[in-house]
Structure 1
């Protein structure tokens, strides 16, 4: 049996090498798509979190009531960031956009003070923003609550369509990846079919024959996953050097989860495909191997 082990190792090295390369390339493509999906989701969240709500303060309201309104806004669970805009700041913003300074013809500033805030991404939809407006309805310091309804509707429609397209593409490529990895492993095992059958003919049990090959499949799957991860990390750093702005989209938690899935997928499919191939050749007659 020791001779079989040595012969097996020598014969199978080339096919295992090609299997590792093939599985690595397929996992790399899957990981590249996963990285694109992660960035797309993060970009969608960033767009949603730029939705701004303006809470206009009533004229002649007391400083105490204005401070209470600011405190009220800061405590809301849907607020990501906020800023209190005084009447003078509102005038400067108005003039800064290219408009004439109305103070040359008016005795007082007609623009109201406001509390402008950006909502968290999960609240950037029409239903949630309507509830946000209702949350301010009973506040005596609030004159009006506004946000760009058309922007919110269009933004969510675009994100929904892009997410659907990415989902379909991801499912399709995931299925293709599983099939390609399975075919790659089965092709690698095809070159070992006579070795498997010979070991069976000299009395080796199925477990004895399959165990080293299954173990090797697990190792090869893990190696393939790590090689693919190295390629993805290289692509990420190269992309961030070329386009520094995408660094803001990096999500370490999702990237780590994707890397773990890549390794586990490589191990699982390699193991299942190898074990199935071994059992298949063990069940076949010798003449059918040719």
Structure 2
């Protein structure tokens, strides 16, 4: 009879541990899914910012005999931009011929007789680092570039840039708010799962205390078990999340790996283990403080 009772208790304990691991894995999976959305929203925001380019027009050289020298001077200037300024991500030289072709494409014109060839000045398109794409910084960069004698004018779509910047900032703010709320929900769900597990062992906890075991001695095994369960739940969540993201990234042609994913993995592991430990310590300590008759 005793053996059957032990087997029953072991089976119930195993089932309880599996339930806790699955519960932790599910809530961490949802947290990780939200983390992927936040990370890729930032990447998409950076991509949009990179489309808001500056265009610096060179002073036009009308003397045909000086065209080669002017081209070399322009190229030297572009090379110096990439070396001197950290706010520049990349540059692209737009020759007169290419500028004319772009104008024809935008106007839907195929006939060269509509306007003279190469009437547009050469320019350099400047893609800024995403962190510099904000109205105040862009204005300072425009003044800095236009101060060079080789540049006649620096233009960009100020209105579009301001609109995009403000909207991206709002979206990022609300994503952070939702992430914080979701993290609180995750903590509550994991805490409830751990408390149910400790509740099932409340009589064992009290029995150990009644026979003279110290509180630290009682709590330590529960903390160790909960840390292992939290870690297992986090690993399962990461594996499931990685498989889902790999499949989705291949469908939509996105890079499946990002350096920020290291932080996401670390956050999931730390969250799973930390909340499991904290919930176990609080729940175990609570039952240690109760009287025997209060356990019922």
Do the structures match in fold with TM over 0.5?
Answer: yes
Q: Does 1:158 align with 2:167?
A: yes
Contact 1:15-1:189 within 8 A present in 2 as well: no
2:63 aligned with 1:63: no
Taking structure 1 as reference, are residues 211 and 11 closer, same or farther at Cα in structure 2, changes over 3 Å only?
A: farther
Tell me whether 1:289 sits opposite 2:295 in the alignment. yes
Change in 2 beyond 3 A, CA 1:225/1:105: closer
Hey, what does 1:193 align to over in structure 2?
202
Partner SS state of residue 150, structure 1 = helix
**After the TM superposition, which residues 1-290 of structure 1 pair with which residues of structure 2 at under 5 Å, given as runs?**
12-60=13-61, 62-75=70-83, 76-100=85-109, 103-104=112-113, 109-244=118-253, 246-247=254-255, 250-251=257-258, 253-290=259-296
Moved more, 91-100 or 135-144: 91-100
Provide structure 2 residue ranges, at least 5 long, that are not aligned to the other structure: 63-69
**What whole-Å deviation, never above 9, does each CA across 1:222-265 have from its counterpart, x for those lacking one?**
11110111111122012113222x327x42x2111111111111
How far residue 9 of structure 1 moved from its aligned partner, in angstroms, is: 5.4
Paired with 1:105 and 1:220, the residues of 2 have a C-alpha distance of 74
Q: Which moved more, 1:39-48 or 1:202-211?
A: 202-211
Mapped to 2, the partners of 1:130 and 1:93 lie a distance apart of: 26
Runs ≥4 residues deviating over 6 A: none
Structure 1, unpaired ranges of 5+:
none
Query: Helix, strand or coil: the match of 2:56?
Result: strand
Structure 1 Cα separation of the partners of residues 30 and 117 of structure 2: 63
Tell me how far 1:174 sits from its aligned partner. 0.7
Q: Measured at CA, do residues 208 and 9 of structure 1 come closer, stay the same or move farther in structure 2, by a change above 3 Å? A: farther
Query: Taking structure 1 as reference, are residues 102 and 131 closer, same or farther at Cα in structure 2, changes over 3 Å only?
Result: farther
2:99/2:118 contact within 8 Å kept = no
TM-score in terms of structure 1 length? 0.90
State which drifts further: 234-243 or 177-186. 234-243
TM-score of the pair, normalised by structure 2: 0.89
